[in-house]
A and B are shown apart, each in its own frame.
Chain A
Amino acid sequence: MKVITGIPVLDDVIEEIPEGKILTYWIDPEVEGNVFAMQTLFTNLERGCKCAYTTIAYSPEVAIGEFNEFGWDVENYENFSIVDLYSGYVGLPSNCQYNASPTDIEEVNEVMKKVIENFDVVVIPVSSVIDVCGEDSIECIGEWYDFAREKESRLICTFVSWPYPEEIEKFVKNNSNAVIRVGGVHHRVILGYYYGVVKVDWKNIKSKAILFKLVKPGGVRAYIPKILVTGPYNAGKSTFVHAVSMRAISVDRLGTTVALDHGHLEYKGFSIDLFGTPGQERFDPILKMLGREALGVILVVDSTKPETFPRAKQMLEAVAHFGLPYVVAANKQDLPDALPPEEIRKKMFLPEDVPIIPVSAKEGDGVYKVIDALLELLTGSWWVKENEPEVST
C-alpha cells in the first residue's frame, strides 16, 4: 500500500514514501513539530496501513490525548498500536501489547524490531530515545534503520535539534532517506513556522520554506498569510472574498469598500487569508499599503466592462512587484454581455500563461478554480529541482 506524508504540498511533490525508507522530521526545539509525525501516522492509518507510535517521554494516554486534540481518534483503529517505552521507565505496569523498559536497551531493541517487522509505518522519537537511553543508544537506532530497510517498513522519525554531538546529527541525517526541516521564523521573537525539504533521496527536489499553521482540529496547514484581491471599482472584489471565505468582513460604506475586505479560508490543506482592496482611485494609498508582503494577487475584473481594464492593469502594476504570481478572475460571467476569458486576454494584452478564470462571484461559480490556479502558481515556485546528479560512466 502507498504510504504518504499527509502534509500539505509535500505529498504533491514527494508523491509517496517508498518501502524501506526513513523519513526524519528535523525539528527546532521551540516548534511543536511532533504533530508532523502524528499527521503522517494518522493519514496512513485512515488509508488502512498498520501504524505504530512510540512513546518514551510521556505516557500512552498523553500521546493519545495529543492525537485527539487534533481530531485524530487513533484509539478507534484496530490497525493502530502504541509502543510503550514510558511506563517501564517510571515503574508503572504497561497495558500496551508492545512495551519495554528503556533501562534495558536490549529489551527495547527486541520490541522495536518486532514492531518494525509487523507494521507498515512506525513513528520513532529518535531524539527522545537518545535523551532517555543515552548517546550509546544511537547504535540501536542504527540497527532499527537497517532493519526497517531490510523488512521494507517505513520509519517516520522525529529529531528535535537540541545541540547533540555532531556525530549523532550526522548519523541521523545520513541514515534518513528524507529530511524535512520544521522550524521557526525568527525576528527576536518567533513570527511564524515553516517546513521545507532538506533532502529526499528518491526525488530530485528541494523546497523553499513553506509557512504553516497548526489548526485544532485539523493539524498542519500550509499557511498563506496574504492573498490580495484587487481590481476596479464595482468589479466584485468584496463579493468574491465573501464567496470563497468561511468567514469574511468588509468595511463597506454606501455600497463601496472604503478600507478593506478580509476573509479566511481553509482549503485543501491550506490556511489562507484574503485581503480585498477598495477599487475607487481615491483609496489608492490603501491599495499600496494592503499590497505589501502579499504572496499572490487575484485581479477581479467585470467582464462586461472592458473600459475598466486599463484601470485593472494599473492596479496590478501598483501591487504586483516583479515575479509576484497573479491570476485574473473574469467576473460577472452570469451576465449576457460578459466577454470570454480569451477576449479579455487580448483586450488587456496579458501573457498567455496568466490564468484567466471565468467566474460569477455572485452565483459562486468558478471561484474555487481561481484559488486552485493561484495555489498552483504559488506552490510551483516553492520547489527547486536540484541539478541532475552527474552520472558516472
Chain B
Amino acid sequence: MSLRSQLEDILKEMKSTGDVEASAIVSRDGLLIAADISSSVNADAFAAMSATMLGAAETAMSELGKGTPDRVVVESPSGKIVAMGAGEKALLVVMTTPKANLGLILLQLGKASKKIEELLG
C-alpha cells in the first residue's frame, strides 16, 4: 500500500467518528500532504493557516517557558478546529461540528498523530 493511501486511510478512519467534517495532514511549513476535505473548502489555505496556528501557538507557549503545547483548539458556534503535531515534519488538523465530543476527538487525534509520525518519520 502506498504511503499516500495509508495516510488517507488514517483520515478516513477519523471521519467515521461522525462529527469530523474535514481533516488534513499538513507539512509543518503549511503544505497539504493528504486531505479529506469537501471541495467547498480552500484546502491549501486551510493547510497553510493550520501550520500558522500551530506554529504561532507553539512559539507563544515556549516563549513563556511552558514547553510545547499538546494541541490547539479553536471553537466557534459553527464548529471546532483542532490541530496537533504529528512528528517533526507534519501536523494533523480536523474540523468538527459544533456539538462534537472533544474528549473523543482528542483521543482519536492522538492515535492518528502517532501513526502519521511513524509513517513520515
B interface bracket (residues with beta carbon within 8 Å of A): 10 to 19
Is A259's CB under 8 angstroms from B48's CB?
A: no
**Residue A251 at the chain B interface, CB threshold 8 Å:** yes
Is B59's CB under 8 angstroms from A259's CB?
A: yes
**Residue B51 at the chain A interface, CB threshold 8 Å:** yes
Q: How far is the CB of B43 from chain A (nearest CB, A)?
A: 11
Q: How far is the CB of A264 from chain B (nearest CB, A)?
A: 13
State A278–B30 Cα separation when bound (angstroms). Answer: 11
State A286–B29 Cα separation when bound (angstroms). Answer: 14
**Residue A338 at the chain B interface, CB threshold 8 Å:** no
Is A254's CB under 8 angstroms from B44's CB?
A: no
Partner of B29, one of A249, A255, A260, A285: A255
Residues in B neighbouring A249, C-beta threshold 8 A: 59, 63
Is A282's CB under 8 angstroms from B56's CB?
A: no
**Residue A175 at the chain B interface, CB threshold 8 Å:** no
**Residue B111 at the chain A interface, CB threshold 8 Å:** no
Interface residues in A, total, Cβ within 8 A: 16
Residues in B neighbouring A278, C-beta threshold 8 A: 52
- Contact code string A112-123 (vs B, CB < 8 Å = 1, else 0): 000000000000
Q: Which of B29-47 contact A (CB under 8 A)?
A: 29-31, 44-45, 47
State A253–B56 Cα separation when bound (angstroms). Answer: 10
Most buried by B among A258, A280, A286: A258
**Residue A283 at the chain B interface, CB threshold 8 Å:** yes
Is A258's CB under 8 angstroms from B55's CB?
A: yes
Is B29's CB under 8 angstroms from A258's CB?
A: yes
The 10 closest A-B pairs by CB, nearest first: A253-B28, A282-B48, A254-B29, A259-B56, A258-B55, A251-B55, A258-B51, A259-B52, A251-B59, A253-B29
Write the residues of chain B forming the contact surface with A, with a CB cutoff of 8 angstroms: 27-31, 44-45, 47-49, 51-52, 55-56, 58-59, 63, 89
Using A253-B27, A253-B28, A282-B45 as known contacts, list a sample of 14 further A-B pairs with CB atoms less than 8 Å apart, ordered by residue number in A: A251-B52, A251-B56, A251-B58, A252-B55, A253-B51, A255-B29, A258-B51, A258-B56, A259-B59, A280-B30, A282-B30, A282-B44, A282-B48, A286-B52
